Amino acid sequence: MKKFLIIVSVLLLATSVANGQSILRNIGERAKKAVEEKVGEKVEQAVGNAVDKVTSKKDNKKGKETKEEAEEGHNHAAGEAWTCPECGKTGNTGDECDDCGAPKPGTGAAAAPARESAPAAAPAPQQKKQVESAYAKSDFVPGDEIFFDDTFENEQLGEFPSQWDLMFGYAEVGSVDGRKVISFTDDGYAEIQPLMNDQKHFLPDVFTLEFDVYLETGEGDGYNDSSLEVVFGNPDLPNWNGRVSWADFWFRATDGGASMHWTAQKPNGGDDIFGEKDLYLGSSDTPLKDNDWNHFAFSFNKRALKGYVNGVRVINIPNAKVPSHFWFIHQGAYKYGCVSNVRLAKGAVPLYDRLSSDGKIITYAITFEVGKADLKPESMVEINRIAKLMQDNPGISFEVQGHCDATGSDKVNDPLSQKRAEAIVAALVEQGIAATRLTPVGKGSHEPIADNSTDEGRAKNRRVEFVKK
């Protein structure tokens, strides 16, 4: 019995020790966890304090930089002439840049106190100013004599346009953003060409080609890559399957990816010219406009081929084979795959020569929004040429005449042409021309120079004339 009690006592003692070790182990684990949590809190607090210090330093530095920038702006404001921080124009003396219209540092928007938030629509005017500035600096000169012009306005939706020839694929008249267009539907593939008496020979050795393309980003996966290729051919010269040069505009609607690629043959046939330009819509220096029409233009002068996007030159080939015809190739099922306002024109005679021989300048390069007196940005090219002519010749004064075609009534056309003439005068005054040298006159459709029953005739009647006084 005594031996039994000893054994029981030993077992109880062993159990107590084991339980004690277990309790201690649990306590130790809980203590370790508490320590880890506490350490974590301290680390988190330390990191937070460090971030606060860094942020505070950045804020202080930013405040210092803001103050320095303000002082720099003040110093700029104090000088007689200043350089525009937006476009780099030097020699400005007014409160706005002479080229792009940006405010003088230290005045206007630049001097306004910072606000917590700005209206969402605020960047739009700046983008417009940038586009207008680009056109103001463009060296593109539209041809003087229009020999093909198609706005598609008189075409039936869903039909193939009457002034075009289908070479391959499918296309039809559609409507985009209130405009009629030639739309590339179905699988997006089509090859089209202006309908001419001689389909292989209709381009002179000096010509300009202009057209509009609508772009919009943010589409779903169903609208991805697309490309619009302008192909120049000449069957009378050695070529690549009829091609002597081409330019391909590629666009991806999902994220705004865009680029221009081009290839041209040199006249000697020994060398080819290749090039590309990134036009990504997310880039700060792209000439493209999102959710808007984009104006494309090409010029050829005996051997020089140039290409422009919204007034910005992206292609400059000094020596290329002479094309005799062109066509469009579109690929990709993009929702807004289309072309609008296609125009071909011959030559580009210097303004002073035209004025000397005719006593007036007739131009088709000053255009307006449909039914409005709002100048399109591309009009700044011609307006700046007229302004330069008047600056170089102080004795010249003009009657600025706005002319319409016979579409619409006199009740609409007469006041509209007057307002358009006034808009041109206002734009020239902004370029530094004295208002006393300009007289706006709206002629409506009362003085046509071509047959209003044809598209080409109506295109020639829609014009601006600068008549020497």
Residue pair 421/375 in contact (Cβ under 8 Å)? The answer is no
The single-letter code of the amino acid at 191 is E
Pairwise CA distance, residues 405 & 450, whole Å: 9
> Residue 421: its pLDDT value, please?
96
| pLDDT tens, position by position, 457-469 | 888 899 999 999 9
Both structure tokens of 447: 């003085």
SS3 label, residue 267? coil
- How many percent of the chain have pLDDT more than 70? 69
User: 3.30.1330.60, 3.40.50.20, 2.40.50.140, 2.60.40.1220: which CATH number matches 351-468?
Assistant: 3.30.1330.60
Question: Smallest Cα–Cα separation from 206: which of 346, 350, 351?
Answer: 346
- Residue 409 DSSP class: -
End-to-end CA distance of the chain: 142
| Residue 60 clears pLDDT 60, i.e. is over it | no
CB 338 within 8 A of CB 251: no
Q: Report the sign of the C-alpha dihedral through residues 411, 415, 417, 420, in that order.
A: negative
CATH superfamily of 140-346: Exo-inulinase; domain 1 (2.60.120.560)
How crowded is residue 73: how many other Cβ atoms within 10 Å of its Cβ?
Answer: 19
Quickly state the pLDDT bin for 219 (edges 50, 70, 90).
Answer: low
CA distance 465 to 418: 13
pLDDT beyond 60 at 97: yes
More confident residue, 341 or 270: 341
Q: Looking at the DSSP assignment, which residues form a beta bridge with residue 209?
A: 298, 344
Residues 6+ apart with CB under 8 A from 109: 103
Q: Are strands 438-444 and 398-403 parallel, antiparallel or unpaired?
A: parallel
Confidence of residue 109 (pLDDT cuts 50, 70, 90): very low
Closest-CA residue to 232 (of 196, 188, 262, 277)? 262
What are the two backbone dihedrals, phi and then psi, of residue 335, each rounded to the nearest 5 degrees?
-55, -40
In the predicted model, what is the mean pLDDT of the chain? 78
Give the pLDDT score at 2: 44
Q: pLDDT tens-digit profile of 370-400?
A: 889 999 888 888 898 899 999 999 999 999 9
Q: Could you read off the pLDDT of 435-459 as tens digits, one per residue? A: 999 999 999 999 999 999 887 788 8
> Is the whole-model pTM more than 0.85?
no
Those residues with Cβ within 8 angstroms of residue 365's Cβ, 6 or more apart along the chain or in another chain? 141, 142, 378, 379, 381, 382
